[in-house]
A and B are shown apart, each in its own frame.
Chain A
Amino acid sequence: MQASTETVFLYPPTPLSARCYSHAKVETDEEFDARWVTYFSKPDIDAWELKKGMNTLIGYDLVPEPKILDSALRACRRLNDLASAIRILEAVKDKSGPHKDIYPYLIQELQPTLTELGISTPEDLGMDIL
């Protein structure tokens, strides 16, 4: 009588492609940036959309790229809202947290836009101190 040997796996040795990770496609940084630039670039963006966009963006665990902020500042210009533009700059400075080198970099990258649109930074207006 043949003894049948059945090997019973205690766990299925799954190949990498079949592991129990989510199969959702992960958005790359470039895609994320592009999506947000497009959002703020809408020509007839309204005040609510600007507020919603900015509040959502600030809610993320990241400091937005200069190109996103550039798009947002131009949206402020289309909405004739200088105050919100300054507020956005304050918000990203706060988002940088302990990394004090991020905000100067952002201002450096945004300087052409700031000069073009006439947006003063909070530092220019003396609003960065109590």
Chain B
Amino acid sequence: MMSSKEARSLKMLHLTTGRVGCLLSKQVVVALTSSGARMSSHGHHEVSDSVDMSQPMYWDRLDTPLPDRPWKDVLDSTDKSLKQKEKGPWTALSKEEKIALYRLKFNHTYPEMKRPSHEWKTVIGGMFIVFGITGLVVLWQCHYVYPPQPHTFGEEWQAKQVQRMLDMQINPIEGFSAQWDYKNKQWK
């Protein structure tokens, strides 16, 4: 027995697959119905990935405790009899029955909603992989892309440059030459 939701989605399917061909749409229709029957305890599932936003939705949110729809809205006979018992005094319910009633209406408890995930490991790992790839790219670039260093970077030139700067007394008070001990000809 199809719910009105399935009937509606079937109608829509007929409209969209009109051109595809009668046989194909029939196969898809069969798939819809059978998967609908399989998932009857969670009758809200759609075959396609998109959610029907025109229907009341279920959600597990810490900041919005009561969703528009119960988790299980297709109840079998045991569920229905439990719901009947719920109309009486709750002191008559056992702990298991109370838990069952909660699970009918809600999917995750608050601790389950707040459970930690291992996502951070993926994130950090991904970051390091990207850094590594970037590092390889930089190495390749240093080797193959950069032109040769100017001759002024060489050891000998640099030494002569430092000596020249000291001779000129560059920044003799607080800077470069201030660090040079002219008497003992060494760095302070």
Contacts and interface: CB of A to CB of B under 8 A. Distances in A.
A38 interface: no
A127 to B, nearest CB: 5
A90 to B, nearest CB: 4
Nearest to B91: A118
A55 B95 contact: no
Q: How large is the interface on A (under 10, 10 to 19, 20 to 34, 35 or more residues)?
A: 20 to 34
A47 to B, nearest CB: 9
Nearest to B116: A130
B66 A51 contact: yes
A90 B65 contact: yes
B106 A55 contact: no
B86 interface: yes
Contacts of B67: 51
A122 B109 contact: yes
B45 interface: no
B110 A91 contact: yes
A127 B114 CA distance: 13
B101 interface: yes
B63 interface: yes
Contacts of A93: 110
Given A80-B86, A130-B111, A86 B98 contact: yes
A120 B65 contact: no
Nearest to B66: A51
A110 interface: no
A55 B98 contact: no
Nearest to B109: A127
B91 to A, nearest CB: 3
Given A54-B65, A118-B91, A86 B102 contact: yes
A124 interface: yes
A84 B86 contact: no
A17 to B, nearest CB: 39
Interface in B48-71: 62-68, 70
B22 interface: no
Given A118-B92, A127-B99, A83 B65 contact: no
B143 interface: no
Interface in A22-75: 50-51, 54-55, 58-59
A27 B95 CA distance: 41
B79 to A, nearest CB: 12
5 contacts: A83-B104, A88-B65, A118-B92, A122-B110, A127-B109
Interface of B: 62-68, 70, 86-87, 89-93, 95, 98-99, 101-102, 104-106, 109-112, 114-115
Shortest 10 CB-CB contacts between residues of A and residues of B: A118-B90, A118-B91, A83-B105, A91-B65, A51-B66, A90-B110, A83-B102, A80-B87, A55-B64, A127-B109
